[in-house]
Structure 1
Amino acid sequence: MTLLILGGTGEARQVAEALKGQDAIMSLAGATRDPLSQPLTTRVGGFGGKEGFLRFLKQNAISAVLDATHPFAQQITPRSARVCASVGVPFCQLLRPEWTPVEGDRWTEIKTEEEAASHIPMGATVFLGTGRQTLARFANLSGRKVICRQIDPPEAPFPFEGGAYLVGRPPFSVKDEVDLFSKLGVDWLIVKNAGGALSATKLTAARQFGIPVLMIARPPRGDWPIVTSVKDALAWVASH
């Protein structure tokens, strides 16, 4: 069996660590310029759409696919599930549980990035914990000070007036986030409901300051097999 892991998350790396030395390939999309090394044979970059992915499966005799990409990978996950189903390759998504509010949180759920502007007053300092890929969708936040954190240094100017990039590579501790929010004077936090303990530190910092959070809801779950933990993902791999 040659397992293909669609990675890019901490959970994908944990699976890879557990499967070190076995017949498995890790695939990274290449969104980060200098990704962390992986304990498995690794390829970086897109597959070239549906046909390219199908060709990769055949050329590498892939017998099962574990999708451990980001919960908001709205293109690669459905496409991979459909392609695998079309050729009878077992497919499973490792989808970590989403965050839920606790006492002290001030969350408002929104469905799209564009909705944020209707909640945030002019002049507010907004911290985007959503990454750069959907930054253009926040263009209607002009009139606020918008800070977008990303891993790689920017290659182009900020796409709309009043914004600035902040470069930093996770993980960030609660203290890191508390100090940062205090220094920047953050009034609002916008995040995707990605789940996971490592990236929840910014939510803890927001809770400590009483900062309101706009939480972008996850896309609907697919109708393919889904597990929610590394343990269950490894059990699925073992069963296939």
Structure 2
Amino acid sequence: MTVLILGGTSEAAALDQLLAEQVPEIRAVISLAGHTSDPRPLSLPSRIGGFGGIAGLREYLVDEGVVAVIDATHPFAAIMPYHAEAACKAEGVPLLAIRRESWRPQAGDRWRSVPDIGAAVEALGAEPQRVFLTIGRLELPQFFAAPQHRYLIRVIEPVGELPLPHAKVLQQRGPFEAEAEERLMHREGTQILVSKNAGGPMTLGKLVAARRLGLPVVMIERPPKPDVEYVTHIDQVLPWLVAQGLFVTERGV
């Protein structure tokens, strides 16, 4: 019996460890998109790269004898969740998504919510600003249309030379503490923060720091997701697997 985990998040990594330790009788495989060249070490077998669309994922489900799929992709994954829904429905494979809760503005926050990256670029305005850009590397090219700003860009992967006259790149991996984020923004003279609404604790510190410094935040909201069964925490995954009849825990749960 194979459980396929569609990974790319801290929840996927935590679930990887949980299943490896508590359910060794289940063969779980974690699939990574391959956007990060040096992913964190995993306890379970892994595969890297796409499946070749819905048809390729359906073929993988059949060939590998997959009995359940856990969608633990990034909150901003816009394609794979729909491919997983379609493939699992076609092959009759149970599907569960892990969707962490979104961040919500707190008292003192100065958020401007926007629907996508293009709207975030527009929200910066024409006047030059010192922008802390924390959106990853894949959408960076859209900000090339606004070269008047001074960008502090934080990424996990190297980005090479950028066609921006004023850009400083920090190659770092979280988690990031609020105090360190506050010192960084103060030192760099940050005037505005751009963030995706990824949720979770790993990068929450930047929002706390922006609140303390009274800085505005351009918050990019998540793309739509398919209407599938979901949970918000990995502790809810094992009971779901039990409910599918895949195994019985020592407690009989």
Task: Using structure 1 for the length normalisation, give the TM-score.
Answer: 0.94
- Alignment match, 1:19: 19
Contact 1:189 1:214 in 2 (8 A): yes
Residue 161 of structure 1 and its aligned partner are, at CA, apart by 4.1
| 3-state DSSP of counterpart to 1:19 | helix
Amino acid at match of 2:196: K
Match 2:101 to one of 97, 100, 125: 97
Q: What is the letter of the counterpart of residue 58 of structure 1?
A: V
SS in 1 for 2:211: helix
Query: Which residue does the alignment assign to 1:124?
Result: 129
- CA deviation digits over 1:17-63, x for unaligned, max 9? 21113321111111111111111111122222222222221221111
User: 1:200 — aligned with what?
Assistant: 204
State whether residues 108 and 214 of structure 2, in contact with CA within 8 Å, keep that contact through their aligned partners in structure 1: yes
Gaps of 5+ in 1: none
> Per the alignment, in what secondary structure is the counterpart of residue 5 of structure 2?
strand
Partner of 1:2 in structure 2?
Answer: 2
Q: How many residue pairs align between the two structures?
A: 239
1:74 and 2:78 are equivalent in the alignment = yes
Separation of aligned partners in 2, 1:222 and 1:18:
26
| Whole-angstrom distance in 2 between the partners of 1:161 and 1:50 | 41
Contact 2:130 2:191 in 1 (8 A): yes
When structure 1 is superposed on structure 2, of 162-171 and 100-109 the one drifting more is 162-171
**Superposed counterparts of 1:184-199, under 5 Å:** 184-199=188-203
Superposition misfits of 4+ residues, deviation over 6 angstroms: none
Percent identity between the two aligned chains? 38
**Structure 1 equivalent of residue 57 of structure 2:** 53
Following TM superposition, by how much is the alpha carbon of 1:137 offset from its aligned partner in structure 2, in angstroms? 2.1
Mapping for residues 1-240 of structure 1, pairs under 5 Å: 1-20=1-20, 21=24, 22-121=26-125, 122-154=127-159, 156-240=160-244
Alignment partners' CA distance in 1, 2:239 and 2:96: 11
1:23 & 1:119 partners in 2: Cα distance? Answer: 47
Tell me how far apart the structure 2 counterparts of residues 141 and 158 of structure 1 sit (CA, whole Å): 12
Which amino acid is 1:169 matched to?
R
Query: Could you say what the CA RMSD is over the residues aligned between the two structures, in angstroms?
Result: 1.5
Alpha-carbon distance in 2 for matches of 1:176, 1:237:
40
2: CA distance between counterparts of 1:73 and 1:3?
20
* TM-score, normalising length: structure 2: 0.89
In 1, Cα distance between the equivalents of 2:242 and 2:143? 43
Distance 1:141 1:234, change over 3 A: farther
Q: Give the counterpart letter for 1:4 in structure 2.
A: L
**TM-superposition CA deviations, 1:62-112 (whole Å, max 9, x none):** 111000010110011111111111111111110000000111111010012
Structure 2's unaligned 5+ residue stretches are: 245-253
Q: Which amino acid aligns with 2:29?
A: I
Deviation at 1:184, TM superposition (A): 1.4
